[in-house]
Structure 1
């Protein structure tokens, strides 16, 4: 599969661009996660979260195992960040087509790919998962997101695009957040949750309850839906984020600076109200017809 040389179509999303350009995001991701932008995977009950890097690679291994694709398969990394996940997939013998809407992410990912000597296995291009028109229909063996679909402004359209570019029988894997707010949830939790979704540009996160993604996937036309909750496996890193952010958060709240330090707010929300959050690993397939061809995507109304 080859990407088009034309200028990619990118939805205007200044809040998302500002979020990733903020000093807090750039320093925080670098110092704590080495530039990676996802949770690590731990055994439940773990209290000592270090070394974080090993937990991050274990999460990427879990993604690879969930994809369950043979060596040489071609996959789309939809929201690749600095390319760490794509590089890990390539080390596991997958070919990766990586896209991201942030120009700085794309530039850094290309540097990281070159440094890893994986230019033949990974292609990095600026692109928006809302607009996959340049990717041929039925050209990919797999697609994955790693904590990026929450940024979608139209998740239904994104999933329809994923279905189109997958080959019949192809695999989509989503590692994404969900939430569950009981009727007696503290009012403060709802307010903080709204701030995180607004300032971190996660509009889809506001609608992702535990069954929401599954329902949308079914409506779009995916089949063989498998859901695995691994919330307890990410809890140690959520606790570490909470401990690091707690004192700064007190000053952030005191001076009303949530918009400028939203990652610290998110760290408090994720752990203080941990029982209201879910981390889901969802694997689905593109169906085949009797003659081996794929069904047309369903338009979600």
Structure 2
């Protein structure tokens, strides 16, 4: 089945709903990324960012490789957007339970799953990763987020929920943002960073200093925590966003309407202060139950 009739508990988060409902978000994601909502993966030192679609799929391949799960494993896509990542995971022979808090995203993801011919491999329903009560304990082999936990209002509770629903030996992979703003940084830097977090509804990102997310993951009970840095791999796309946003940003700032064009502001902040902002990966496993052997990870070819 491609959908579920279960009615989940959803946190009321008007800021997040407004962000994704904004004209800038709806048009920008569609025109530039084809509806996908994550960065692409490039070899360090790349300047030419096209074709963007191939870079997006490479990032999804990197996610798949980081999960290290065997064919047939079942994973949770926590914040699936239009379902592009879930579809790619299913094409790599994973079964995906996809959730998103935005009704419009869920409807589009369901249509995309059907168009891809994958309704038996992917379920899509409206759901909130703060409330996974409807997901049975120790029922999943993996959980992943792709630039979504930065929107969490309680990341600690989210990670504890992920821990509960994973089987012993299961893996969690987070592709997210981090930062390290020097205390002596110009006030303008902190101001723009705060604007992005507020207007893009990313309260968790404000607290995700470099190293914070791995500590939260370990605190939730996970072990074998690994952290990677893909900042150089996303830089070509970040540069593209900067070039597209530069002239509009000058006008937006002059008019004082940053609130309505936060993605434009984020493009300027992310590239202009590249050394401060990081794109990180965190992978960890739930401790294996000594009385129950865990699955064998898929060996890399």
Same fold (TM over 0.5): yes
Deviations 1:105-141 (CA, angstroms, capped at 9, x unpaired):
0000000000000000000000000000000000000
**Other structure's SS at 2:131 match:** coil
Q: TM-score, normalised by structure 2?
A: 0.95
Match of residue 240 from structure 2: 240
Match of residue 142 from structure 2: 142
Are residue 41 (structure 1) and residue 41 (structure 2) matched?
Answer: yes
Pair 220,32 (structure 1): closer, same or farther in 2 beyond 3 Å: same
8 Å contact from structure 1 (residues 3, 135) kept in 2: no
**Pairwise CA distance, 1:3:** 8.8
Are residue 100 (structure 1) and residue 100 (structure 2) matched?
Answer: yes
**Pairwise CA distance, 1:218:** 1.3
Query: Take 1:23 and 1:81, find their aligned partners in 2: how far apart are those partners?
Result: 16
Deviations 1:264-300 (CA, angstroms, capped at 9, x unpaired):
0000000000000111111100012432389xxxxxx
**Pairwise CA distance, 1:6:** 3.7
Query: Take 2:3 and 2:88, find their aligned partners in 1: how far apart are those partners?
Result: 21
Question: What are structure 1's unaligned runs of at least 5 residues?
Answer: 295-301
Match of residue 227 from structure 1: 227
RMSD between aligned residues = 1.5
Deviations 1:2-31 (CA, angstroms, capped at 9, x unpaired):
997342110000010010000100000000
**Pairwise CA distance, 1:254:** 0.4
**Pairwise CA distance, 1:231:** 0.4
**Pairwise CA distance, 1:261:** 0.4
Pair 108,4 (structure 1): closer, same or farther in 2 beyond 3 Å: closer
Query: Take 2:170 and 2:3, find their aligned partners in 1: how far apart are those partners?
Result: 19
Q: TM-score, normalised by structure 1?
A: 0.95
Deviations 1:214-260 (CA, angstroms, capped at 9, x unpaired):
11111111001111111000000000000000000001100110110
Question: What are structure 2's unaligned runs of at least 5 residues?
Answer: 295-301
8 Å contact from structure 1 (residues 41, 234) kept in 2: yes
| Pairing 1:201-280 to 2, within 5 Å after superposition | 201-280=201-280
Are residue 172 (structure 1) and residue 158 (structure 2) matched?
Answer: no
Are residue 26 (structure 1) and residue 26 (structure 2) matched?
Answer: yes
**Other structure's SS at 2:275 match:** helix
